Structure 1
Amino acid sequence: MSRQTIRMVSIYLGLAALVLVVFFQTAHFNFVNYDDPSYVFENPNIRSGLSLRGIVWAFTHIHSQNWHPLTSISHMIDCRVFGMESGRHHLVNVGWHAAAALLLFTFLWQSTGAIWASVLTAAIFAIHPLRVESVAWISERKDVLSGAFFMVTLLAYASYVRRGSWRRMAIVAATLSLGLISKPMLVTTPVILLLLDYWPFNRFDKKGIWKLLLEKIPLFLLSLGSIVATLAAQRLAIGTAENLPLAWRFNNALVSYVNYLRQMFWPVDLVPFYIHAEGRLAIWQVVGAIALLIVITTFAVVLRRKLPFLVVGWLWYLIMLLPVIGIIQVGLQGRADRYTYLPQIGIIAAVVWMVRGLSSSWHRRTLIVATVSIVVTGILTLLSYRETTHWRDTESLWTYTLSRSPENDVALAGLAGIELVRGQTDDAIAHYRHALALRDGNAAAHYGLALALARQRKTDEAIEHWERSLEIQPDNTEARNYLGAALAGVGRTREAIEQWQQTLTFDPDNGNAASNLAWVLATSADPNLRDGAKALAYAKRATSVPGGDNPVVYRTLAAAYAENGQFADAVSAAEHAKQLAQLAGNLAMEDDLDRSLELFRQQRTLRER
């Protein structure tokens, strides 16, 4: 084995080891109640694992207000292979992130020939504390997955630059497509490739700007398609102009650019949710942000010929952040660490290459730069390791967040959620009310408070909060299902039916809504509401979706068969429901099904008991 080969193997192993030192601890971490339920462990389409039906669902449905089918499929594969072992899901994130870091090094090294600058850039990217959210949070699989495909796209483009052909550009388009269906943030990739044409590929003088743009038209079209799909998927999560005026959004975007820079060089007090400043930013903050951005941009442009990496790195940062900088507001956050996953590479590369250039004439340059690099990498590793520990479980995450941001409504609601699971209902209600006092527009807090109030049999107030939650987030199908059940429980059955029908409008495969509708239509004492044919259709729909093979759904199917006079089928469905109840150890359900079977054998319906 040659010395060069040994060196390269050592670099790859070293980068992988850095990632593992920081993030292997997540193998012992749990899921958290921040998006993980809807992304993975409470989503029947994901939990059921990879299947042809699941793949079709991933490409034809919106998943947690996003359309990212490859990410959905990735979670399905995890569930098929690992079940609900959260540590294994975490390690898949770590693996994708390690792959992204190694591929970034490979691209930089092959494109610039500067091996140690490439190593340092990849190392800082790999273990910077701003990476923690993307790697340690299972729901952010989309970051690390799209990041890996972004790096493959860069390598494919480098191959195209070396030996241009339509086949090589087709590979670039294919890898970009995989990245876009992992996370649409890669829509700016064609512009990033254009920047790379300036440096390090130096193609502007050889080809000219128009030829470079022309060759990327297929890539721009892919990005345009992704933008359209994303806006359609996120239409219910996008803040309205009334809630967040355009001036607020622009001001927050400008200040966020500066805050992300500050966090790169001083990565402390990082939290999973940053409260949006809304109209509270001082004029000096906005003016100062504008001034700093103008100064850096001017500096980079003026020195573009002498320091081309500076203007490329800076524009990389500005442009890649554009889709998530908040001008089009999605969600409640002011900014998020995960949004820096790929944009920060531009700043890291610019700084590393600038140091490389400035230090070229230093005496003992190698010793000084190596020492500084080791110290910086060591400090970042320690900070990231500590930051990662906060993600070990829900309580740890939100307790830490509240220690840094005491008036954080999302953290309060998150902590209330784990208290509700533990049966600490009074504590949960107190935290939910505190969260809503801070921000009445927090849909999750209204939803959680409604659950807690329903548990205390305060049904009328629970209904009010579910309705308020749905005003803010109309596509929350779980809230609609609970609201429908609560309405049915207080005799407002027609309104309940409307809620469940609305759920099926948003999610045609929602088994809970279909089962609830079938039950009411089959068993209602009101003949004006009963409809046996529709009840049977809804019940069959409920059994056909992921999660439908459970005793409640099959009891409903039995009731629907009986309402239609198909008593033999009703007995068969009820017996299957009883078997499922026995497997689940649900004695109360077994007893209920025994009584139902007796009625069906007497050719009587459930409403006759």
Structure 2
Amino acid sequence: MRLSTLLCLLMLVVTLAIFSRTASFDFINFDDPGYVTTNSVVKSGLHASSVAWAFQSAAMSNWHPLTWLSHMADVQLFGLKPAGHHLTSVVLHTVSALLLFLLLVRITGMQWRSLVVTALFALHPMHTESVAWVAERKDVLSGLFWHLTLLMYVVYVQRPKLWRYLATMVCFALGLMAKPMLVTLPVVLLILDWWPLNRFRRNEGDTTAAVQTARHLFLEKIPFFLLSLLSSVTTIYVQQHGGAVQSLEKVQFGLRIANVFLAYVRYLIAMFWPHDMAILYPFPTEIIMWQLTGSVLLLIVISVAVFSFRRRLPYLATGWLWFVVTLLPVIGLIQVGGQSHADRYTYLPFTGLSILAVWGVSDACKSLAQRTKVLATLSVLTIAVCAALTWQQLGYWRNNITLYRHTLAVTNNNYLILNNYGIALNQEYGDVDGALAAYQEALRVWPKSALTRNNLGTMYLAKGRFTEALEQFREAARLDPGEPMVRINTGRTLAKMGRLGEAAEQFEAALKQDPAATDAHLQLALLLIKTGRTSEARSHYEAMQKLEPSSARGPLTIAVELASAGLVGDADEYFRQAMALEPNSPDVNFNMGVFLAKQNRRDEAAQCFYRVLQLKPDSLMAKNWLRTIGK
């Protein structure tokens, strides 16, 4: 076996070893709930109805059925223990790296250069987010099909057969069903036709033949472009209807255009100097002109330079175009989400820069007497630094608190992360005051945030400051009148204040806005139970259970509310319903443990808290309760 192959295997083992660290990491509260932990369909595992849902759903403002199926498969295999979910992503990433190595060797014949490019893909710290974040399963899954599609295309080009062409298209379609960012792949196929496949240049001496060759290559890609078009239209439709696409009113088009140039340069810098990496970089509210001017000039200079050398050094054009083109769907012309750029968006584009850099440095060192030793030393040092930085960056992804504290330390005015940090402080540590402070800081950064107003209101509600909570919810409703959750929280507050009729009106208004608003059904059921109208309450409870048939959220919420109202017998019944639905849920076990502890049923309570620690070993709240009950 050749040395390069052995080193490739070693690199894959190192990749597995480094990223397997995520097996001890938690889920995080940024998108992981929507994709896995609170998604009742995903939590039910793989079965006929969940598979049908995967192909019909626009949840999380995306149509990516293959991604949904992969999450369901994880639940089927590992339940809601995060280790299995993390390790699946690690394996997919590692297999994707292997496919990239096989692809590069096949199209270039350069094993050593291919190995270095592959190692940069596998171990670059900017790719940490795609692998460590469960919600970004779509990155590693689509990346695997991206590389498989390219590999199948090369097999087809080298030995043309219809079945190979069709197999390439199937792989591409599967990749689009994992993440629509792959829509640029037909253009990348044409780029590879230029170099290293050299399909455009076979008839350069004959103008007529050259034109015919170019026409043939473009026609060959039409089915791929049609798939890309279909995926793009579907994605834009789903994201607009899901509210993910920011309006021009929120993000001015001129600001978007300016950020495009800045983002490209930030990605360039991050390739060669990855630092201060964060889960979210806030979108700028203003542009510094010298930075914009410098970014535009730098991109023009690089583009002119690589195309000036497109014949002598064709890999420069291929690497640069790969980078520029693959970033286009996420560069921000259509603004999705609140980020200016994102580490996860580099997962595939950085391969282009790696090709440009590795081939460029190798050729630049041709005249050196000790060329092989110099290149080997430089490669080993670069990969070692990348591995060390990736190991360090992975540490921040251990849980919500470590991730958000790091993000807030390396970014400014990050009100979205302040919101998630507040949620984590409240849910994981019971730190209501800390959560309150985080929301107040988020509101200072962006006073027009309905999300922050809603979260701040929930903290005032938890502290019994009902008037202040009501003020925040009403302001949130003014800022975002179409959000049913704000009406639901307004109703919850009114119910706590004894204004039950007004509360019911809010819950009913929320259901008019969204008939599938499970929280509105749940809160109406609670309100009706408390007023003795159990038959009416049952209809809303059953409606919620139909919407979330496998979720313990309904019975758990009712159980907690009934327990706080002193209705111990009824609460016990609902706690047991919740436990029957989700026996491995940390939330169900923790809340039932608290309930049992307050009933002085210490042994039963201890069993619940020990179960929580099996599922979440870092749960301080479970440890504190065990100390409280003397266990």
1:13-72 alpha-carbon deviations (Å, 9 max, x no partner):
212122124312111111122222222112212222222111112221222222222111
Q: Provide the C-alpha distance between the structure 2 equivalents of 1:444 and 1:18, rounded to a whole number of angstroms.
A: 42
2:68 alignment partner AA: S
2:229 is aligned with 1:224:
yes
1:230 alignment partner AA: T
Q: Provide the C-alpha distance between the structure 1 equivalents of 2:236 and 2:225, rounded to a whole number of angstroms.
A: 16
Equivalent positions of 1:152-231 (< 5 A) are: 152-206=148-202, 208-231=213-236
1:549 CA displacement: 6.7
- Relative to structure 1, the CA distance from residue 277 to residue 57 in structure 2 (aligned partners, 3 Å threshold; closer, same or farther) is same
Equivalent positions of 1:554-573 (< 5 A) are: none
Question: Does the CA-based 8 Å contact 2:555-2:578 persist in structure 1?
Answer: no
Structure 2 SS opposite 1:208: helix
Question: Does the CA-based 8 Å contact 1:551-1:577 persist in structure 2?
Answer: no
Q: Which residue of 2 aligns with 1:323?
A: 329
Q: Which residue of 2 aligns with 1:580?
A: 577
Give the one of 236, 248, 251 matched to 1:244: 251
2:81 alignment partner AA: E
Of residues 360-369 and 316-325 in structure 1, the stretch that sits farther from structure 2 once superposed is 360-369
Give the one of 98, 102, 107 matched to 1:106: 102
Structure 2 SS opposite 1:64: helix
1:397 CA displacement: 0.9
2:66 is aligned with 1:70:
yes
- Relative to structure 1, the CA distance from residue 118 to residue 77 in structure 2 (aligned partners, 3 Å threshold; closer, same or farther) is same
Of residues 203-212 and 297-306 in structure 1, the stretch that sits farther from structure 2 once superposed is 203-212
1:364 CA displacement: 2.5
Question: Does the CA-based 8 Å contact 1:503-1:513 persist in structure 2?
Answer: no
Equivalent positions of 1:250-269 (< 5 A) are: 250-269=257-276
2:238 is aligned with 1:233:
yes
Q: Which residue of 2 aligns with 1:419?
A: 425
Task: Work out the percentage of aligned pairs sharing the same amino acid.
Answer: 36
- Relative to structure 1, the CA distance from residue 295 to residue 458 in structure 2 (aligned partners, 3 Å threshold; closer, same or farther) is same
Question: Does the CA-based 8 Å contact 1:555-1:574 persist in structure 2?
Answer: no
1:525-575 alpha-carbon deviations (Å, 9 max, x no partner):
99xxx996xx8765544333444575956999xxxxxxxxxxxxxxxx999
Of residues 579-588 and 60-69 in structure 1, the stretch that sits farther from structure 2 once superposed is 579-588
Q: Which residue of 2 aligns with 1:562?
A: none
Q: Provide the C-alpha distance between the structure 1 equivalents of 2:277 and 2:238, rounded to a whole number of angstroms.
A: 29
Q: Provide the C-alpha distance between the structure 2 equivalents of 1:395 and 1:364, rounded to a whole number of angstroms.
A: 49
Q: Provide the C-alpha distance between the structure 1 equivalents of 2:323 and 2:573, rounded to a whole number of angstroms.
A: 58
2:226 alignment partner AA: L
- Relative to structure 1, the CA distance from residue 219 to residue 522 in structure 2 (aligned partners, 3 Å threshold; closer, same or farther) is farther
Q: Which residue of 2 aligns with 1:438?
A: 445
1:516 CA displacement: 4.6
- Relative to structure 1, the CA distance from residue 245 to residue 552 in structure 2 (aligned partners, 3 Å threshold; closer, same or farther) is closer
Equivalent positions of 1:512-531 (< 5 A) are: 512-516=519-523
Question: Does the CA-based 8 Å contact 1:554-1:576 persist in structure 2?
Answer: no
Question: Does the CA-based 8 Å contact 1:188-1:223 persist in structure 2?
Answer: yes
1:511 CA displacement: 4.2
2:415 is aligned with 1:409:
yes
5+ residue gaps, structure 2, are 203-211, 559-569, 581-587, 597-631
Equivalent positions of 1:406-485 (< 5 A) are: 406-421=412-427, 422-466=429-473, 481-485=488-492
Question: Does the CA-based 8 Å contact 2:326-2:349 persist in structure 1?
Answer: yes
Q: Provide the C-alpha distance between the structure 2 equivalents of 1:144 and 1:582, rounded to a whole number of angstroms.
A: 34
2:270 is aligned with 1:293:
no
Question: Does the CA-based 8 Å contact 1:313-1:349 persist in structure 2?
Answer: yes
Q: Provide the C-alpha distance between the structure 2 equivalents of 1:330 and 1:243, rounded to a whole number of angstroms.
A: 11
Q: Which residue of 1 aligns with 2:402?
A: 396
Q: Provide the C-alpha distance between the structure 2 equivalents of 1:555 and 1:127, rounded to a whole number of angstroms.
A: 43
The RMSD of aligned alpha carbons is 3.0
Question: Does the CA-based 8 Å contact 1:550-1:577 persist in structure 2?
Answer: no
Question: Does the CA-based 8 Å contact 2:184-2:326 persist in structure 1?
Answer: yes
- Relative to structure 1, the CA distance from residue 484 to residue 323 in structure 2 (aligned partners, 3 Å threshold; closer, same or farther) is farther
Equivalent positions of 1:110-125 (< 5 A) are: 110-125=106-121
1:579 CA displacement: 5.9
Of residues 344-353 and 229-238 in structure 1, the stretch that sits farther from structure 2 once superposed is 229-238
Of residues 319-328 and 52-61 in structure 1, the stretch that sits farther from structure 2 once superposed is 52-61
Question: Does the CA-based 8 Å contact 1:127-1:381 persist in structure 2?
Answer: yes
2:98 is aligned with 1:92:
no
Q: Provide the C-alpha distance between the structure 2 equivalents of 1:519 and 1:39, rounded to a whole number of angstroms.
A: 27
Q: Which residue of 1 aligns with 2:138?
A: 142
Give the one of 480, 486, 503 matched to 2:514: 503
- Relative to structure 1, the CA distance from residue 478 to residue 23 in structure 2 (aligned partners, 3 Å threshold; closer, same or farther) is farther
Q: Provide the C-alpha distance between the structure 2 equivalents of 1:555 and 1:387, rounded to a whole number of angstroms.
A: 36
1:426 CA displacement: 1.8
- Relative to structure 1, the CA distance from residue 382 to residue 60 in structure 2 (aligned partners, 3 Å threshold; closer, same or farther) is same
Structure 1 SS opposite 2:59: coil
- Relative to structure 1, the CA distance from residue 552 to residue 175 in structure 2 (aligned partners, 3 Å threshold; closer, same or farther) is closer
Q: Provide the C-alpha distance between the structure 1 equivalents of 2:573 and 2:435, rounded to a whole number of angstroms.
A: 38
Q: Provide the C-alpha distance between the structure 2 equivalents of 1:250 and 1:494, rounded to a whole number of angstroms.
A: 44
Q: Which residue of 1 aligns with 2:583?
A: none
Structure 2 SS opposite 1:338: helix
Q: Which residue of 1 aligns with 2:387?
A: 381
1:215-262 alpha-carbon deviations (Å, 9 max, x no partner):
111111111111112112221121111121111111111011001101
Of residues 251-260 and 236-245 in structure 1, the stretch that sits farther from structure 2 once superposed is 236-245
Structure 2 SS opposite 1:374: helix
Q: Provide the C-alpha distance between the structure 1 equivalents of 2:486 and 2:42, rounded to a whole number of angstroms.
A: 19
1:485 CA displacement: 3.8
Q: Provide the C-alpha distance between the structure 1 equivalents of 2:371 and 2:395, rounded to a whole number of angstroms.
A: 36
Q: Provide the C-alpha distance between the structure 1 equivalents of 2:579 and 2:274, rounded to a whole number of angstroms.
A: 53
5+ residue gaps, structure 1, are 557-572, 590-609
Q: Provide the C-alpha distance between the structure 2 equivalents of 1:325 and 1:197, rounded to a whole number of angstroms.
A: 25
Structure 2 SS opposite 1:234: helix
1:64 alignment partner AA: M
Question: Does the CA-based 8 Å contact 2:524-2:540 persist in structure 1?
Answer: yes
2:285 is aligned with 1:278:
yes
- Relative to structure 1, the CA distance from residue 22 to residue 480 in structure 2 (aligned partners, 3 Å threshold; closer, same or farther) is farther
Q: Provide the C-alpha distance between the structure 2 equivalents of 1:511 and 1:219, rounded to a whole number of angstroms.
A: 40
Of residues 34-43 and 148-157 in structure 1, the stretch that sits farther from structure 2 once superposed is 34-43
Q: Which residue of 2 aligns with 1:564?
A: none
Give the one of 38, 45, 51 matched to 1:49: 45
1:378-424 alpha-carbon deviations (Å, 9 max, x no partner):
11111111111111111111111222225322332222112212222
Q: Provide the C-alpha distance between the structure 1 equivalents of 2:251 and 2:379, rounded to a whole number of angstroms.
A: 42
- Relative to structure 1, the CA distance from residue 452 to residue 195 in structure 2 (aligned partners, 3 Å threshold; closer, same or farther) is same
Question: Does the CA-based 8 Å contact 1:27-1:87 persist in structure 2?
Answer: yes
Question: Does the CA-based 8 Å contact 1:501-1:513 persist in structure 2?
Answer: no
Structure 2 SS opposite 1:314: helix
Of residues 189-198 and 455-464 in structure 1, the stretch that sits farther from structure 2 once superposed is 455-464
Q: Provide the C-alpha distance between the structure 2 equivalents of 1:579 and 1:43, rounded to a whole number of angstroms.
A: 21
1:69 alignment partner AA: P
1:256 alignment partner AA: A
1:145 alignment partner AA: L
- Give the structure-2-normalised TM-score: 0.82
Of residues 537-546 and 94-103 in structure 1, the stretch that sits farther from structure 2 once superposed is 537-546
Structure 2 SS opposite 1:253: helix
2:316 is aligned with 1:305:
no
Question: Does the CA-based 8 Å contact 1:391-1:397 persist in structure 2?
Answer: yes
2:446 alignment partner AA: R
1:582 CA displacement: 8.2
Equivalent positions of 1:122-137 (< 5 A) are: 122-137=118-133
- Relative to structure 1, the CA distance from residue 303 to residue 355 in structure 2 (aligned partners, 3 Å threshold; closer, same or farther) is same
Give the one of 7, 14, 29 matched to 1:11: 7
Q: Provide the C-alpha distance between the structure 2 equivalents of 1:461 and 1:165, rounded to a whole number of angstroms.
A: 70
Structure 2 SS opposite 1:67: coil
